[in-house]
């Protein structure tokens, strides 16, 4: 079943979001290894009375994602995490004004 998690924020300078489809994500952790900023982690989520391991953005980076992720050129949606995911579970939405 579908569950989409959004991490990021909109501020005066634009929109910055990393979106993870936890239904597609199988918790393989390839994106975690590829992230040059160590901003990704595997987290236990509770879905349909089961614990499921899926990728998420670490607490530390959630509030500064605009800076953390900028060097990976997320506006192209071709950052290392996106490319590492064979299941296409990660998407970047980056719109700076």
Partner 1 sequence: MKEPSTVENAVEFWRWQEYQRIMPGKSWKSKDLITAGVDVGSVGSKAAIMVNGEAYSWGIIRTGSNSPESATKALDYALKGTGLKISDLKYIVGTGYGRVNVPMANKAITEIACHAKGANYIWGPSVRTVLDVGGQDIKAIRIDETGRVVSFLMNDKCAAGTGRGMEVFADLLKIPIEDIGGISLKVDQEPPPVSCTCVAFAKTEAMGLLRKGWSKEKVLAAYTRAMAVRMANLINRVGLEKELVITGGQSKNIGIVSRIEVVLGVKCLPMPNWRDNGLDPMVAGALGAALFGKALYEKAQKS
Are 84 and 30 in contact by the 8 Å Cβ rule? The answer is yes
Q: Binding to partner 1 by residue 45, rule CB under 8 A?
A: yes
Cα distance between residue 23 and residue 54, in whole Å: 9
Does residue 3 belong to the site contacting partner 1 (CB under 8 A)?
yes
Taking contact as CB under 8 A, which single stretch among the options 26-34, 42-50, 67-75, 84-92 is the one that binds partner 1? 42-50
CA pair distance 52, 59, nearest whole angstrom:
18
Q: Does 97 bind partner 1 (CB under 8 A)?
A: no
CB of 10 to partner 1, least distance (A): 6
Asked whether position 24 contacts partner 1 by CB under 8 A, the answer is no
Q: Are 36 and 68 in contact (CB under 8 A)?
A: no
């Amino acid at each position: 079943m579908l569950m989409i998690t959004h991490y990021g924020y909109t501020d005066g300078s634009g929109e910055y979001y990393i979106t993870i489809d936890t239904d597609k994500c199988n918790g393989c952790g390839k994106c975690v290894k590829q992230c040059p900023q160590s901003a990704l982690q595997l987290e236990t989520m509770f879905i349909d009375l089961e614990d499921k391991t899926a990728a998420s953005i670490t607490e530390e980076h959630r509030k500064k994602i605009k800076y953390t992720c900028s060097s990976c050129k997320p506006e192209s949606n071709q950052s290392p995490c996106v490319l590492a995911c064979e299941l296409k579970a990660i998407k970047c939405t980056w719109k700076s004004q």
